[in-house]
Amino acid sequence: MRVGMYYSNNDVRVEEMPVPQIGPGELLIRIEASGMCGSDVMEWYRRDKVPLVLGHEIAGSVVEVGQGVRPYKKGDRVSASHHVPCNTCRYCIRGHHTVCDTLRQTHFDPGGFAEYVRLPAINVDRGVYPLPDEVSFEGGTFIEPVACVLRSLRMARFEPGQSVLVMGSGVAGLLHVHLAKSMGAARIVATDVVESRLEAAQRLGADVVLSAREDVPARVREVNDGWLADLVLVCTGAKSAQIQGMESVEKGGTVLFFAPTDPGVTVPLSLNDFFFRNDITLTTSYAGSPADHVEALELIRLGRLRVEEMITHRFGLTEIGEAFTLVAEARNSIKVIIEPQN
Ligand SMILES: [Zn+2]
Ligand SMILES: [Zn+2]
């Protein structure tokens, strides 16, 4: 089979690999659509593991079923999680599934940018999501990113009626805008430096969009009846956005950092400014739990989230290099889908 082998953002090669052999409890999936994620182009994060096949937002059909697997059968349309938790460690029991050691070690073989993937038994056990007829393969690729954003809003203790500032309007930022809107945010302000992304934010539910080059805290006050934002969701690794985000939160509010910085970046923090008498919560969120994936699929199925509107580009596996360049540039693309069978 063909795979997209990642060496660096500018060097992704189409290579041949044997179709994975499955064992008892495992599934072989023929990938029809595979979403690209901002984390796929975080070179520093991938550098120590290359070459490797990326792709963790998949949808496809079951083509081979290992001994003892229930309830899946040949021909089932599914999405699946690459990372799955153990559900029994101290972190899982306390609801922090995404810091589980098992979650961090589990993955597809070889990865979603391939014609076929093998799902190990633990993934089959707790990380397969059958797609209802009304959810397309492309819709199915959004289950994982939407799950991550559902967890993020939960960790940020989002409540209807809050004013929300989303810093950065790439896919993650746009999903935060769209979900916060559908869950009853009072006013949503979104920022970015790219005009087309601000237009997308507006279409998906932002009440106000701002250039990130403006004085964001001052502009938030102007458009939010004199108040800063109850909830700030920082969806870009840019240090300037992290600093402006922290300056834009109202007393009693929360800042959630959804995107990592480059390694070694630190941001100065005055404990008195944030906590003493101001009651500001700073927090982060990474990945999603199995329950978040189930909820994400349900929201997509019901049409509560218009995820397919975010797709701007589709590429066959042969053009995967171009797809990585486009996503790394982070300019005129929003969601990029790889179709490994093309
Ligand atoms: Zn992702
Ligand atoms: Zn665990």
pLDDT score of 273 more than 90: no
pLDDT tens digits, residue range 166-211? Answer: 999 999 999 999 999 999 999 999 999 999 999 999 999 999 999 9
- If phi > 0 it is left, if psi is from -120 to 50 it is alpha, else beta; for residue 94 that is alpha
Per-residue pLDDT, 100: 97
Determine the Cα–Cα distance for residues 213 and 192; give it in Å rounded to an integer. Answer: 8
Give the dihedral sign, CA 195/322/42/38: positive
Q: Cα–Cα distance between 130 and 230 in angstroms, integer?
A: 37
286/200 Cα distance (integer angstroms): 24
Strand locations in 52-93 (E): 57-65, 77-80
Who contacts 70 (Cβ-Cβ below 8 Å, separation ≥6)?
none
Q: For residue range 22-49, what is the model confidence (pLDDT) as tens digits?
A: 999 999 999 999 999 999 999 988 888 9
User: For the chain, how far is it from start to end, CA to CA, in angstroms?
Assistant: 12
Task: Give the distance (Å) from ligand 1 centre to CA of residue 22.
Answer: 25
If you measure from the C-alpha of residue 96 to the centroid of ligand 2, how many angstroms do you get, rounded to a whole number? 8
- What is the 223 CA–ligand 1 centroid distance (Å)? 32
Beta bridge partners of 117: 29
Name the pLDDT band for 225 (thresholds 50, 70, 90). Answer: very high
Distance 337 CA to ligand 1 centre (A): 12
Q: Which two tokens stand for residue 72?
A: 């899946």
Q: How many A from CA of 225 to the centre of ligand 1?
A: 35
Contact in structure between 14 and 2 (CB atoms under 8 Å): yes
User: From the CA of 121, how far away is ligand 2's center (Å)?
Assistant: 16
Residue 95 CA: which ligand is closest? 2
CB-based contacts of 340, cutoff 8 Å, min separation 6: 2, 4, 31, 32, 34, 112, 113, 114, 115, 316, 317
Please name which ligand lies nearest the alpha carbon of 112.
1
- Residue labelled with tokens 């190990």: 120
Cα–ligand 1 centroid distance for 35 (angstroms): 8
Ligand in closest contact with the CA of 97: 2
Ligand index nearest the alpha carbon of residue 89: 2
Expressed in angstroms and rounded, the spacing between residue 94 Cα and the centre of ligand 2 is 9
For residue 268, the model assigns a pLDDT of: 86
Peptide bond into 263 cis (omega under 30): no
Burial of residue 29 (CB within 10 Å: 0-12, 13-18, 19+) is buried
Nearest ligand for residue 88 CA: 2
CA dist 199 and 254 (Å) reads 26
CA 173 to ligand 1 center in whole angstroms: 13
Q: Taking a C-beta distance cutoff of 8 angstroms, is the pair 231, 163 a contact?
A: yes
CA atoms within a 13 Å half-sphere pointing along the CA-CB vector of 164: 34
Nearest alpha carbon to residue 112 among 83, 82, 91? 82
**Number of CB atoms found within 10 A of residue 101's CB:** 12
- Give the number of the ligand closest to the Cα of residue 126: 2
Average pLDDT value over all residues in the chain:
96
Q: For residue 243, what pLDDT band results from cuts at 50, 70 and 90?
A: very high
Q: How much distance in Å is there from the Cα of 56 to the middle of ligand 2?
A: 20
Ligand 1 centre from 202 Cα, in Å? Answer: 23
Taking the centre of ligand 1 as the mean of its atom positions, its distance from the CA of residue 178, in whole angstroms, is: 17
pLDDT digits (tens, 9 = 90+) for 294-336: 999 999 999 999 999 999 999 999 999 999 999 999 888 999 9
* Alpha carbon distances (Å) from 341 to 32, 60, 143, 150, 278: 6, 10, 21, 30, 54
Q: Which of 108, 100, 103 is nearest to 52 (CA)?
A: 108
Instruction: Point out the ligand nearest to the CA of residue 85.
Output: 2
Global pTM value: 0.96
Q: Which residue has the tokens 């397919």?
A: 308
pLDDT above 70 covers a percentage of the chain that reads 100
Q: What are the backbone dihedrals phi and psi of residue 207, each rounded to the nearest 5 degrees, phi first?
A: -80, -35
**Radius of gyration, CA atoms only, the chain:** 20
